[in-house]
Amino acid sequence: MKKASNLFIYVALGISFIFSATTAIAEDIAESLPERFIAPPPITQSIPPSTNASSTTSAFDANPTYHARISIIIDDLGYQYAPAKTLIDLPYALTLAIIPFTPYSSAIANLAQSKHKEVMLHAPMEALGPDQWEKGLTSSMNENETVITLESMLKNVPYAEGVNNHGGSKLTQNREHMDRLMSFLASKELYFIDSRTIASTVAASSAESAGIAFSERDVFLDNVKSVDLIRIQIEKLRVLALKQGHAIGIGHPYPETLESLAEELPKLQQYGIQIVNISELIQAKPSKSQAFSYKPSMTPHNKN
């Protein structure tokens, strides 16, 4: 009987030790989990966004439920009408970047404007690779040719409020040509968003010199056409936005991207994130002293 009693005590002590150790391990694991595995906090108190005055707006400040803002640009629109219409019909302030001289470029721009969606010119620019994309801005152009090409692009994509680069890994490294571009955009009061197709881009310094509204892409959403991986990229965008107060994502009109956006965008409100047009995020058309930019946090796009 005594042996049985002692055995019971030993078993009880063993169970207690295992429970304590398991609890400690679980706590350590929980502390090391990345933020995406932690449930969203209840929205009860506003967390100040970026301290940079240029990255806030009165509408944002007036709504204490929002902790951060995100802008999502959809590139490469113009070749197909249906995906563009699907994006335009989504009840979110997505910015549509349209390639000029494509079959549906003008039609998509007109539809977007009628639905109060922001339009951007997705201007083809010279890339480093031997295979060039659509005809666009190249380093062989003189200043007059550059201006004529840009005027023609903007005429084909009406209502564009700004420009971002389609390709451009070669041209965005060329300070002379970037200065020409930014000077033209300043004359039209248009902003520029650098897609950062190469890390050595000089677009930021050129835009600053020209005094135009400017910013850079933070996260590419769909380098890999996988719904699961696109969700992870949207999560990266969310975490970054909550960290710095704002973030810019770029995607494409792939079926996987459309599916992911439709599922994930409604969830962002749970984290206190407001989806806004890119012009609202960067406060387009500032004076030279107010133009701002911020450094990207992600690696360059794998396209050139």
Q: Is residue 187 exposed (0-12), middle (13-18) or buried (19+ Cβ within 10 Å)?
A: exposed
pLDDT value at residue 243: 93
Give the residue from 61, 57, 66, 47 showing the smallest Cα distance to 213: 57
Phi/psi at 11 (nearest 5 deg)? -65, -45
**For residues 284, 285, 290 and 292, what is the CA-based torsion angle, rounded to 10 degrees?**
40
Residues in the chain: 304
Check: pTM over 0.85? Answer yes or no.
no
Count CB atoms within 10 A of the CB of residue 92: 16
Contacts for 133-140: CB closer than 8 Å, 24+ residues apart = 133/166, 133/167, 134/99, 134/100, 134/101, 134/102, 134/166, 135/101, 136/166, 136/167, 137/168, 137/171, 137/177, 137/181, 138/171, 139/170, 139/171, 139/174, 139/177
Write the single-letter amino acid at 225. K
What does the pLDDT profile of the chain (304 residues) look like in tens digits?
Answer: 544 455 444 545 454 444 344 333 333 333 333 333 333 333 322 323 333 333 333 334 445 577 899 999 999 999 999 999 999 999 999 999 999 999 999 999 999 999 999 999 999 999 998 777 788 999 999 999 999 999 999 999 999 999 999 999 999 999 999 999 999 999 999 999 999 999 999 999 999 999 999 999 999 999 999 999 999 999 999 999 999 999 999 999 999 999 999 999 999 988 899 999 999 999 733 333 333 333 333 333 444 4
pLDDT value at residue 22: 39
Give the residue from 276, 178, 274, 164 showing the smallest Cα distance to 215: 164
